[in-house]
Structure 1
Amino acid sequence: MAQKYRIYINDNTLFITHELPSQIDKIQQIEAEGFDFRSFYKNLKSSKQKHYLLLTKSPQAAFRKIKKDLTIVKAAGGLVNNAKGEFLFIFRNKKWDLPKGKVEKGEKMKVAAVREVEEECGVCIAQRNKRICKTYHVYEMGSELILKRTNWYHMTVKGSPKLVPQVEEGITEAVWVAPYEIKAKIKNTYPLIIDVLKNEKLL
């Protein structure tokens, strides 16, 4: 089975697949032959289109080629449940987000995910469960183009502990959100966070 990839670039999405995705309304197809990611990225700033499709017989090879040209950063995060069935959200950079952070050298993804959640929100994770999904996000850092690969895990805490946002990481709020309140939060979040929530059947 051919692989499918979804790369988030701010509010834009690049799909790399061997077939047309059914869930996207307006999508612009890009010529796969001679595709150059850096040129594509540069042109995004002047484009009004949100979703792009790179249709290719070998999505894996196309994705590998893109990765070669970018600096890879590994990150891990969590979707945390409390005993009341509420979910942990943080407010950072004027948007609602889920706790996550960079994986340290020699650290396992699943270990990093728990550490980052505990550091960013001041909670103690009782259990780390299955991996929900993997997301890819491209952004600029100086003259470099970074591809951040994040592994997301489902986690639980005991009871409904008080949350302590890690202010030095730019987190101004950490809150427990009931399932029915999630839709209000996603009006001001990132597309990749919506992807994580959909993978967990919360949307």
Structure 2
Amino acid sequence: MYKVFVNQSPLILTDKVTETEGSEYFLLNSKAIGSAIDVLSKKKQKSAYIYHPNLEEILKKFTKEVPLVVAAGGVVTNPKGKVLFIYRNKRWDLPKGRLDKGETIEQCALREVEEETGVKGLLIENFLMTTYHIFKLKGEYRLKEVHWFAMTTDYDGELKGEKKEGIQKVRWKGPKKIQKALKQSYANIKILFEGQ
């Protein structure tokens, strides 16, 4: 199963018909995929399902209809246990960005976090998860696949939001401020903090 967020609502790509009971489901073809995305982006439904019997093929077939953009980012903590957040488009987010040609996912995650926040001395501890969401680029839907890593740093210098990326603020946040920020964040960011 893959959970793809469309305007904060989940579009579930599944190989199990039982998961779709009681909800509208769509087949894996261009017309149905477009309809599912439209329904969710217009908030006409809380969720939708796309069914295909082969889970290994489902993402491959989906990305033939909705081009894939690969990205990576980090959940960065400092020695005080605070987490690094960025603020743009009136929401709190985590630093991330697109994979450049010739770089590894890990290199991308480290580069993007540093570029978007000014934080240096980043170390990857482990891989966390992959999230998916739909966005529009030049009027066309795209599927963003973000590979998230847990990172640490001892950096205590100036935080600098990358202006060309529209980042207005960069902040370290402790547990209470994280909970407050998540209320003004994205669904695919919230799932990174589930169970904490």
TM tier relative to shorter chain? 0.7 to 0.9
CA distance in 2 between partners of 1:38 and 1:158 (Å) = 45
Which piece of structure 1 moves more, 134-143 or 37-46? 37-46
Q: Deviation digits for residues 115-156 of structure 1, max 9, x if unmatched?
A: 110111111133112110011111121242211111111111
Q: Deviation digits for residues 5-44 of structure 1, max 9, x if unmatched?
A: 01111211111234566xxxxx723144767212222333
Q: Which of 98, 104, 118 pairs up with 2:114?
A: 118
What code does the residue aligned with 2:179 have? K
TM-score (norm. length: structure 1): 0.85
CA distance in 2 between partners of 1:5 and 1:188 (Å) = 24
Alignment match, 1:16: 13
Aligned residue-pair number: 193
Q: Deviation digits for residues 150-175 of structure 1, max 9, x if unmatched?
A: 11111111154431111221001000
TM-score (norm. length: structure 2): 0.88
**Which structure 1 residue ranges, 5 or more long, are not aligned?**
22-26
Which piece of structure 1 moves more, 75-84 or 31-40? 31-40
CA distance in 1 between partners of 2:188 and 2:107 (Å) = 21
CA distance in 2 between partners of 1:79 and 1:116 (Å) = 12
CA distance in 1 between partners of 2:28 and 2:109 (Å) = 37
Q: CA deviation at 1:55?
A: 4.7
Residues 182, 58 of structure 1: alpha-carbon distance in 2 compared, 3 angstrom cutoff: same
Alignment match, 1:133: 129
**What is the aligned-residue identity percentage?**
33
Residues 45, 111 of structure 1: alpha-carbon distance in 2 compared, 3 angstrom cutoff: closer
Q: CA deviation at 1:56?
A: 4.6
CA contact under 8 A between 2:36 and 2:48: conserved in structure 1?
no
Matched, 1:42 2:51: no
Matched, 1:29 2:24: yes
CA contact under 8 A between 1:84 and 1:160: conserved in structure 2?
no
SS at match of 1:188: coil
CA contact under 8 A between 1:130 and 1:154: conserved in structure 2?
yes
